[in-house]
Amino acid sequence: MVDSRLRWTALVVLFAAALTLGLYWSGLLPVSYGPVMSASVSTDGRYALTSHRNNDLVLWDLADHRRKVIADDANIYSAYFVPGRDAFLWQDLANNVRVQTVDGKVLKQFNHPATYGQIIDRSLKHYVSANATWNIFSGFNENIIPVLRDSKSPSLIGSGKLLNIAWSDSGYMISSGRGLPDADQRSVQSSGPPVRSEDNLRFSSNYAGVVLWHFPDRQPVAKLAGNSAKTHATISPDGQWVVSGDENGNLLFWNTDHLNERHRLADFDLGLFLDDAPYKAGDKRNWDNSGLIPAPPGTTNITLALAFIDHSNYFLRFGNNSHQAALFKAGNPWPQKYFDLGDSPQLVTYGSQYSRNTAIATSPQAGMLVMGHRSGGGISVYRFDAENLTLERTWVVE
């Protein structure tokens, strides 16, 4: 009798454990991770990868609404899906970088100094990372080459944000950190080398603003001036458009075939500023509001992040301390639509979290958007319909 009771008790415990584990992997139980620090979405929109403040690395199946902890020792800024592959890039706390498939097969492994943002191309031959002091490096193991190392400032500690890096299919890379009007106005040709010796660093970087780079030669093509303070920029998948925004309300874009022509995006309240208007400062006649659509309450001109959401070059602009996102079409200065992303749970856009703007990620090819939350380790997932210009929230995990 005693043995049968013990066996029954053991079976009940095993069943409960299996049920709990099943609910956990299926995403039906609340998460216990720290807040998302970096996120990435697979090209086909099936998966997302997030690294968290408590060093968890989580793989999310966006189609089946399941999740799995891959590691509990991940660098918080290292989550990145390899373009065009069911494989992702991450770094552990021993500085080992791995490229592994969603099924767990390791395709590449190497040691690299702690990354504060990293990217790799589909061929797995070109790897780029940024560090805490806004230097950029390329290459593996003993073949690491500095791409940017020209100053002691700005940095993550000094500015409160990352040096964001992203690249397109056309061989362009964009970097963006902090708009510095004087330095940004200096051309690449007059700015000195982007890589200096360790004992010959400038006090303040000539390349901290929005910079367009060309790979694989790792050289700056142009500095795109006009931003000030904390700045975020991104590039369209085809490499045709660069868009930027900052915490002072500047919104700008460039066509990479005509980099000498800078264009403004509309202020949500006033419209387009007319550079050649003859009126005094403060006069509303300095602004063209002919293409404005009404902005919903809570919309702000302070930019936290930008991300392309469609292969036809629609992009989203995320405001600081706001759950409204503005939709733009590349080449058009006017907002096309506003989307309410939801105010419960509060998103990472709240709290001036410029060091976490990498917790917002998209797959333009699949029209998927994934965002971390202000607190807690959950995510909100959205699907964009380019034909109907809708953005639907499809999954929320708190």
- Encode the chain (398 residues) as per-residue pLDDT tens digits: 545 554 554 443 344 334 344 444 444 556 789 999 999 999 999 999 999 999 999 999 999 999 999 999 999 999 999 999 999 999 999 999 999 999 999 999 999 999 999 999 999 999 999 999 999 999 998 899 999 999 999 999 999 999 999 999 999 999 999 999 999 999 999 999 999 999 999 999 999 999 999 988 999 999 999 999 999 999 999 999 999 999 999 999 999 999 999 999 999 999 999 988 888 888 888 899 999 999 999 999 999 999 999 988 999 999 999 999 999 999 999 999 999 999 999 999 999 999 999 999 999 999 999 999 999 999 999 999 999 999 999 999 99
Residue 31: what pLDDT? 72
Q: Where are the beta strands (DSSP E) in 289-398?
A: 303-308, 314-319, 324-329, 337-340, 360-363, 368-372, 379-385, 390-397
Report strand pairing: 145-148 vs 287-288: unpaired
Helix (H, G, I), strand (E, B) or coil at 290: coil
In contact, 199 and 150? CB cutoff 8 Å: no
Residue 15: what pLDDT? 42
379 Cβ contact partners less than 8 Å away, ≥ 6 residues apart: 36, 39, 48, 50, 60, 370, 371, 372, 373, 395, 396, 397
Residue 173: what pLDDT? 97
Q: Which of 345, 337, 349 is nearest to 398 (CA)?
A: 345
Helix (H, G, I), strand (E, B) or coil at 158: helix
In contact, 77 and 120? CB cutoff 8 Å: no
On whether the pTM is more than 0.75, the answer is: yes
Task: Find the largest Cα–Cα distance for the chain.
Answer: 97
Structure tokens at 296: 């919903």
Structure tokens at 138: 């390329």
Q: How far apart are CA 269 and CA 377, in angstroms?
A: 34
In contact, 230 and 217? CB cutoff 8 Å: no
Instruction: Give the DSSP H or E segment for 17.
Output: helix 2-26
Residue 55: what pLDDT? 98
